[in-house]
Amino acid sequence: MKKRGRIKFHKIKTWQLFLILIPLFFIDATLLRVDHVRMTELRDAVLAADEAEDDEAISRNLEELKDFVFSNIVINVVEENGKQRVTFGTGPFYLEHQYIRAANAALDEAEKNLGSDSNPNGNVYQLASDVCRPQAIANGWSWNDANYINCMMGEIQKYPAADEIQDRIIASLPSTELYRKNYASPLWAPTFTGFMILVTAIIIVVILIRGFVWVILRLSLLFM
């Protein structure tokens, strides 16, 4: 039976293999698109939980996203330095709201620590807060808004000994890398999508081998 199967396969013409490739390319593209859309949905769920300030949902959705990306072939187009490139995985994304909450908590802690500082201008942090809080109210900034944090840092820089204070505040701020996520997917995975791509690749290799053999035979006939 194996021998008959090999004979039947050898009887398939090369042009027939090309015809088989056409629907296979369409199926592969569709399956890859489905995996990409699913990854996007899971990533959007993480970002929605971040915006809702639900840390438990963030952790749960991140785990689900990571498990999916690590076990599927996910092709994505990301923009980096104004240029687009193809990558396998989610591409970089940021938990912006979680970072702002953490940075704001660090600023609150800095306010407590700097409140008793001896400074010829008084409590520098409080002076900066007196300037930025009215701006926050006027512009509709929340206290964990990036604009408010930037205003505070800018006001603190205006006072003597601000460099030392700023260094202490910056040292207390969390690293942005802790809130930057980028999960890479494998180049191939044992999924339905992966096996369909494998079948397509095998057919392409067979066509290339047949083409190479045909060229060799033609050349040998010319020099005989």
Q: Are 129 and 111 in contact (CB under 8 A)?
A: yes
Q: For the chain, what percentages of helix, strand and coil (3-state, to nearest 5) are there?
A: 70, 10, 20
Query: Taking all residues of the chain, what is their mean pLDDT, rounded to a whole number?
Result: 81
* pLDDT number for residue 79: 79
Comparing CA positions, the residue from 139, 171, 136, 148 lying closest to residue 100 is: 148
Of the two residues 27 and 106, the one the predictor is more confident about is 27
- The structure tokens listed for 133 are 């809080």
pLDDT, mean of residues 23-45: 95
Of the two residues 140 and 191, the one the predictor is more confident about is 191
Q: Among 17-26, 60-69, 121-130, whose mean pLDDT is lowest?
A: 121-130
* pLDDT number for residue 15: 82
Q: Among 8-17, 76-85, 163-172, 192-201, whose mean pLDDT is lowest?
A: 163-172
Residue 75 has pLDDT above 90, yes or no: yes
Pairwise CA distance, residues 56 & 118, whole Å: 40
| Residue 35: CB atoms within 10 Å | 23
Q: What digits encode the pLDDT tens for the residues 94-149?
A: 998 888 888 877 777 766 665 555 554 446 667 777 888 888 878 877 656 778 87
Query: How do the domains of the chain map onto residue ranges?
Result: 2-92+182-222, 96-178
Cα 157 vs. chain centroid, distance in angstroms? 35
| HSE-up (13 A, CA, CB side) for residue 35 | 27
Q: What digits encode the pLDDT tens for the residues 87-96?
A: 999 999 999 8
* pLDDT number for residue 10: 60
Q: What digits encode the pLDDT tens for the residues 140-190?
A: 776 567 788 788 778 777 765 555 555 666 666 777 788 899 999 999 999
2 exposed, middle or buried (CB, 10 Å; 0-12, 13-18, 19+)?
exposed
pLDDT, mean of residues 57-74: 95
